[in-house]
Amino acid sequence: MRVNGIDYRTVWMEGRSVFLIEQNLLPFQFSIHEAKSCAESCHAIRTMMVRGAGAIGAIAGFAMAQAALEAHEQGFLSFLQKAKTEIESTRPTARNLFYAVEKVYAAALISRSAAVSVAQQVADRDAADSRKIGEFGSELIQDGMNIETHCNAGWLAFVDYGTALSPIYQVHRQGKKIFVYADETRPRSQGARLTAWELNQAGVPHTIIPDNAGAYLMSLGKIDMMIVGADRIAANGDVANKIGTLEKAIAAKEFGVPFYVAAPTSTFDQECPDGKSIPIEERSADEVLFQDGLTSDGRHEKILVCSPGSSAFNPAFDVTPAKYITGIITENGIIKADGGTIDHLLNGKI
Ligand code: MRU
């Protein structure tokens, strides 16, 4: 993705360091953060400096490679196992994190250089899959369509291109006229901050809508299609995605709006039979109670936006049953989740 005339990936590795676009500072400041060790990469995942299923997967793979480079000959295996547990404890929901760590861990058992090259392959595959998702998804989008999206499943959430936004960028480049409604996505506002920033960079016409406006817009016939990303997809096609996705899917069904999920097969989890077995992250109440933003004199400030003394519950994801999903756009094509196991639908290409 091009920012200020320079091509960037969301996260990459050079030597022993991992570099990443610091997403907590966007859209106010574009800055690159260096994580010099596996521990620093874990911190970046926990604090959401880097976020989004594919980007988390890529940095988790790089963190595992960092651990392989940090480990001494003596006690190599136990150091590696400890690092694996540490990385896997950072965030529980996105399947891509576990997918990447398992692959790089297996390579690290062969050699340090194998760990680094497999981590790089995982990141490269994420970018390539996202590009393919854009190609398949673009076939669904007609000239003049209004598309709603939730959270940020753009290039910032992956190594490059994105998933839900990848088809949108593709048709925009083809010259089709489209308009995007970006759900603000409380409490961390990934839609209002990141999706809107990305769409601005790419020149895609859009507007930000409050989280609770989607059903109303659908009832007015203003939404032609909804595309969202996914953090984990169970074997029966149930989809875990950012909190708020489920109510949009139910509204879409009610108003006859096609509801698509865009995700690479590295997000599919054959070990989870259905959505109930997907672990859902609960994050700090402070993310609901406080908001940070830019003051009129250009300072970053965090302020309390709720009743002082009240508590808050903050589940980060919800699960949309397969029956609400029109189709899942993958790097291998578009599949229908409802009506068969997904590995059958993908002919084993997971
Ligand atoms: O908590 P986040 O920002 O890491 O959430 C993950 C997501 O980006 C979304 O759930 C997204 O819609 C799916 S995958 C990029």
Q: Averaged over 49-64, what is the pLDDT?
A: 98
Fold matches, 2-128 and 131-346: no
In the prediction, which pLDDT does 339 show? 58
Which of the pair, 344 or 289, is modelled with greater confidence? Answer: 289
| Catalytic residue status for 318 | no
Pocket residues: Cβ below 6 A from ligand 1: 51-53, 151-153, 157, 190, 228-231, 241-242, 316
Q: What is the C-alpha separation between 39 and 27, in angstroms, rounded? A: 26
Q: Is 69 exposed, middle or buried (0-12, 13-18, 19+ CB in 10 A)?
A: middle
pLDDT tens track for 120-153: 999 999 999 999 999 999 999 999 999 999 999 9
The structure tokens listed for 128 are 């390539």
Say which of 126, 231, 238, 318 is annotated catalytic.
231
How many angstroms is it from 164 CA to the middle of ligand 1? Answer: 11
Q: In terms of CATH architecture, what is 131-346?
A: 3-Layer(aba) Sandwich (3.40)
- pLDDT above 70 for 340: no
Angle subtended at Cα 82 by Cα 78 and Cα 88, rounded to the nearest 5 degrees: 145
CB of 261 within 8 A of CB of 229? yes
CB of 278 within 8 A of CB of 237? no
pLDDT tens track for 280-302: 999 999 999 999 998 888 888 99
CA-closest residue to ligand 1 atom 8? 52
The residue extents of the domains of the chain are 2-128, 131-346
Q: Averaged over 49-58, what is the pLDDT?
A: 98
CATH 3.50.50.60 fits 2-128, yes or no: no
- pLDDT above 80 for 346: no
